[in-house]
Structure 1
Amino acid sequence: MTTQTVLPVEPDVLKTASVSNGEPAWLTESRVNALKLAAELPLPQLEKTRIDRWNLQNYGTPRQGKADVAQEIPEIVSALVDLKEQSNLIVQRNSAAVFTKLSADLAAKGVIFTDLETAAREHGDLVQKYLYTVVKTEENLLTALHSAMWSGGVFLYVPKNVEIEVPLQSIFLVDDSKSVFAPHVLIVAEANSRVTYVDNYISGDLSDPIVHNGVAEVIVQAGAKVQFATVHDLSEKTTDLTYRRSVIENDGRIEWIIGEMNAGDTMSDTSSVLKGNGSTSDAKVIAIGSGSQKMNYTTRAVHFGKNSDSQMITRAVMREQATAIINGVTKIEHGATKANGEQTEKVLMLSPKARGDANPILLIDEDDVTAGHAASVGQVNPEQIYYLMSRGITKEEAERLIIYGFLAPVVADIPLEKLQQQLQTLVEGKLGQ
């Protein structure tokens, strides 16, 4: 058992909330069962991180009744996206979606892009088929609590052979510490389809600390390609706990592009299960820590398919007294012949009190494979600073250029120009530039 013995909500309160929200009976039952299971499960065991010492008390109160979609969109959201021009967008504020829009041409092709609560009501058979199949409810206390209390969320379904040229975007805003903030993203890309999904997590003014316990499940069927880009920019009052996971079938591909820009304690686990032959995964992660933040980032690839390929790049910059554990895990199972797994973790520390720990891990149960890793932890190279200064650049500008070059492999791959600009602004802000 863990030190957390009191669940954040009573079963009868959870059941009443689910019924009042108009959720189908199967979902209500699933939530209540997950809550009961949570009481029996431990917190996840993180590498070199005592998550039980984090502030995990306030999950908020489940919403009673359907959301008011007529409420005004806050300015902080409007600054990120043009609501009039954006055709494929979901905006969630606290526990519920307040704006949903899908272009008519994509809807005509059978694409579904709506909040997960609505999808559970209107596309119940489809949602029930895939929900919790990638991130299992019973894995640990966090996944069980998420299955019980998730709110709003996204359901993106791309039918067979449909290729979507424009990115689909969602924005998740938390500005009420009393509401549950736990979106669940469920993406299903059927055979030979293609889609780019982008989301953004942001905070408004919060009166009290709150826990974000989120999950993203991505099903990539044979020959499908999914690009998943996400930026987390939550305030110091938010503890961010996120599981992202994809299962990739034969010749499918997942590409993760992740910007961890939070100001509070953060745990994220981004995993690709390369189930099919010829399946591929490419994960790029950048993180910036400041203040007294504690962070634990894991990027993982598990190879089952023959000729499967995984690539991981993680870049982290630590300032002040921030600490980060960076884990890269490549697991090649027996039978995954000709698999290839490569990973690189690099941590740049800008303060003598900052701490970074890069842990490359290779677990190989098959002989006929290739795998490799590289890891480094250090400060800005003084020789690089000297070289740039010898070309007439100031020391401050030289450091800035080196840091941006260090983070460039991820920033340049953000598929939306506005989001890329926002990430660049966040990097500048977190580095005090």
Structure 2
Amino acid sequence: MSTPTTSFGREAAGAIARSKNEPAWLVAQREEAGELSARLGLPKPEKLPLTRWTLDHYGSNRPGQPVASAADLPAPIAALLPENSGSLIVQHNSSVVYAKLSEELKAQGVILSSLEDAVRNHEELFRKHFMTAYAKDEHKLSAVHGALWNGGVFLYVPKNVVIEEPIQALLFADDAEATFMPHVLVVAETNSRVSFVEQLASGLANATGTLLHNSAVEVFAKAGAVVQYAAVHQMDSSAIDIAYRRAVLDNDSRVEWIIGDLHNGNAITDTKSVLKGNGSTSDSKIISIGTGNQRMSLTTQAVHFGRSTESDMITRAVMKEEATAIINGITKIEKGATKANGQQTEKVLMLSPKARGDANPILLIDEDDVKAGHAASVGQVNADQVYYLMSRGISRKEAERLIIHGFLDPVVSEIPLEGLREQLHRILERKLG
């Protein structure tokens, strides 16, 4: 169903929900989000005039063709899958087309499905968590997502279940006219453990329009749970990447974010951990490479509510040509979060005099008995390091390449899939030229 940009609102959102035979409460939720989208303003990232971006091209419902096995997936999608795909879910344009979960994990109560299937088959779990960490009334983009989300991923890990192999999701678009707004919902129960790997890609080489990817991730780690969430985003320059990620942590739980924001077009990403429980911890590692005339806003946040909570945030970006990135690190320690420890580091390498990278570390502290610190740097490749490598017979170009890869390696090496790590290296080589 088409969603024209001039008239989208409550009525259009409700019509979409009813066309999918969704329950009345979800129809009402989409309608409310549609109404909000018509009156809320866009977020206001520093120094990025979003009114110039094509953010009102919502597309229409263009579902992919469901397949029975990974071997039947379209060639461009199959080419992105690691050799051993294991547990896997694939979204093609506006719908999930394939999902596979081992019988062993099913027997332990693990659930892996599209979010749309979760509405029908696991309504109570879905309704309890969906869009509670990322609210539809935050701004216009969140409201649009709340009204139009499609496909998506629902992963549920029961109490005490430890999943050894990563669960994988591939989100792929090759139709610029498709509504492409996946939502990933991960619920890890008490003392469970899971690694989740999200890969976002596109095949829009001949597209004339702008694809809007407006996505959200919500992770709920219950007491003692550990969730590792890795994501690699790389779409064509004609696409816009909007990615809001949220994690809510209970007592003694942990989330690890490993993010490669390597999209080729304009992007807004916001990765936030809410350390609600005592003793909870968050570790965020994020890399990005800007090329051409890209405009990016990359924000990482940690909000401490619980006592003895710890957060560490590392962002490293490389900027080429005329690319611009605004990199924000925000550590917030609320009143009562005694013994909290929040640390952050933002580093930007500039490879061109016309490139720009702003690193903005922000500490907001409302409690005395805490530790907090930040470091930020923006500069060029270290000349002494280049000279040292050249003195060992390495060319200047190769020396700079080695230094840049070393600069990014603390994140790349953490990707929990060998095949995806290799693919990430290829992306880096291509973007760094």
TM-score range, shorter chain: over 0.9
| Distance in 2 of aligned mates of 1:425 and 1:347 | 21
Mapping for residues 17-416 of structure 1, pairs under 5 Å: 17-63=16-62, 68-70=65-67, 72-81=72-81, 85-205=84-204, 206-416=207-417
Deviation at 1:7, TM superposition (A): 5.4
Q: Is the 8 A contact 2:12 2:34 kept in 1?
A: no
Deviation at 1:39, TM superposition (A): 1.3
| Distance in 2 of aligned mates of 1:270 and 1:34 | 22
Q: Is the 8 A contact 1:273 1:302 kept in 2?
A: yes
| Distance in 2 of aligned mates of 1:168 and 1:105 | 13
Please report the TM-score for the alignment, with normalisation by the length of structure 1. Answer: 0.95
For the residue of structure 1 that corresponds to 2:39, the secondary structure is: coil
| Distance in 1 of aligned mates of 2:119 and 2:48 | 36
Structure 1 counterpart of 2:73, which letter? I
Deviation at 1:234, TM superposition (A): 1.1
Structure 1 range deviating more: 276-285 or 69-78: 69-78
CA deviation string 1:168-210 (max 9, x = no partner) = 0000001101110000000101111100000100010233111
Deviation at 1:380, TM superposition (A): 0.7
Deviation at 1:15, TM superposition (A): 2.9
| Distance in 2 of aligned mates of 1:424 and 1:209 | 27
Pick closer, same or farther for the CA change 1:411–1:8 going to 2, 3 Å: farther
For the residue of structure 1 that corresponds to 2:125, the secondary structure is: helix
Q: Is the 8 A contact 1:8 1:57 kept in 2?
A: no
Structure 2 counterpart of 1:344, which letter? T
For the residue of structure 2 that corresponds to 1:227, the secondary structure is: strand
| Distance in 2 of aligned mates of 1:361 and 1:295 | 18
Q: Is the 8 A contact 1:288 1:430 kept in 2?
A: yes
Deviation at 1:41, TM superposition (A): 1.0
Deviation at 1:9, TM superposition (A): 3.1
Deviation at 1:48, TM superposition (A): 2.5
Deviation at 1:24, TM superposition (A): 2.2
Unpaired segments ≥5 residues, structure 2: none
Runs (4+) of structure 1 moved beyond 6 Å?
none
| Distance in 2 of aligned mates of 1:185 and 1:370 | 33
Structure 2 counterpart of 1:353, which letter? K
Unpaired segments ≥5 residues, structure 1: none
Q: Is the 8 A contact 2:5 2:57 kept in 1?
A: no
Deviation at 1:18, TM superposition (A): 2.3
Please report the TM-score for the alignment, with normalisation by the length of structure 2. Answer: 0.95
| Distance in 1 of aligned mates of 2:309 and 2:104 | 34
Structure 2 counterpart of 1:167, which letter? P
Q: Is the 8 A contact 2:82 2:419 kept in 1?
A: no
Q: Is the 8 A contact 2:339 2:369 kept in 1?
A: yes
| Distance in 1 of aligned mates of 2:301 and 2:9 | 34
Structure 1 range deviating more: 162-171 or 24-33: 24-33
Structure 2 counterpart of 1:151, which letter? N
Deviation at 1:11, TM superposition (A): 4.0
| Distance in 1 of aligned mates of 2:6 and 2:218 | 24
Pick closer, same or farther for the CA change 1:10–1:364 going to 2, 3 Å: closer
Q: Is the 8 A contact 1:8 1:59 kept in 2?
A: no
| Distance in 2 of aligned mates of 1:358 and 1:427 | 21
| Distance in 1 of aligned mates of 2:51 and 2:12 | 25
Deviation at 1:22, TM superposition (A): 3.0
| Distance in 2 of aligned mates of 1:271 and 1:203 | 25
Structure 1 counterpart of 2:91, which letter? Q
Structure 1 range deviating more: 132-141 or 37-46: 37-46
| Distance in 2 of aligned mates of 1:391 and 1:7 | 62
Deviation at 1:51, TM superposition (A): 1.7
Deviation at 1:142, TM superposition (A): 0.7
For the residue of structure 2 that corresponds to 1:396, the secondary structure is: helix
CA deviation string 1:285-340 (max 9, x = no partner) = 00000000000000000000100000000000000000000000000011101000
Q: Is the 8 A contact 1:80 1:418 kept in 2?
A: no
Deviation at 1:381, TM superposition (A): 1.2
CA deviation string 1:16-67 (max 9, x = no partner) = 332232322222221111101111211112123222222213111135xx76
| Distance in 1 of aligned mates of 2:244 and 2:87 | 24
Deviation at 1:8, TM superposition (A): 6.5
For the residue of structure 2 that corresponds to 1:380, the secondary structure is: coil
Structure 2 counterpart of 1:73, which letter? L
| Distance in 2 of aligned mates of 1:86 and 1:212 | 24
Q: Is the 8 A contact 1:287 1:316 kept in 2?
A: yes
Deviation at 1:94, TM superposition (A): 0.5
| Distance in 2 of aligned mates of 1:375 and 1:384 | 20
Deviation at 1:352, TM superposition (A): 0.6
| Distance in 2 of aligned mates of 1:110 and 1:102 | 11
Q: Give the CA RMSD over aligned residues.
A: 1.6
| Distance in 1 of aligned mates of 2:91 and 2:232 | 15
CA deviation string 1:206-230 (max 9, x = no partner) = 3311111100001111100000000
For the residue of structure 1 that corresponds to 2:162, the secondary structure is: coil
Structure 2 counterpart of 1:35, which letter? G
